[in-house]
Amino acid sequence: MAKIFLALVGFAYIGLAGWCSLQPEKTAKGVGFSLQPGSGQSEFLVVYGGLELALGLIFLWPLYRPEETAFPLFACLVIHACLVLFRTISFFLYSGIESTTSYLAATEWLIFLGSAYFFLRKV
């Protein structure tokens, strides 16, 4: 079950990487960013395209090596624990949170709880 969970998360991240890379203006606007020409566009492509692709590949690793789920699961847990922590803090610090951001927050919580469940079952 952990492999299926990681595969779903991995494919989601690869999809997000594609969306951010192919439609950066639309994606950035959806989360409240305004892309500045040049450096802003480059930073968005690298962090939201490249980093999400890398995360997706890490989470998909057990499809290639089924016996190796411990590290991708641990990485998923740590990454999403940090995202949940900072996202939750941001909700207390800032107002005007758009629905796309709320959807991302709910998804981050689900992934965090799922990865915690599977990680704790493995240890």
| Residue range 4-18, pLDDT digits in tens | 999 999 999 999 999
User: Which helix (H) or strand (E) element contains residue 15?
Assistant: helix 2-22
The answer to whether residues 115 and 5 touch, using CB atoms and an 8 Å cutoff, is yes
What does the alpha-carbon distance between residue 73 and residue 40 come to, in Å, rounded to a whole number? 32
> How high does pLDDT run on average in the chain?
94
Structure tokens that stand for 51 in this block: 């980093």
Look at residue 123 in the predicted model and tell me its pLDDT: 65
Q: State pTM to two decimals.
A: 0.91
* CA quadruple 85, 91, 97, 102: dihedral sign: positive
The answer to whether residue 57 scores a pLDDT higher than 90 is: yes
- The pLDDT assigned to 122 comes to 81
Extract the tokens encoding 73.
């699961």
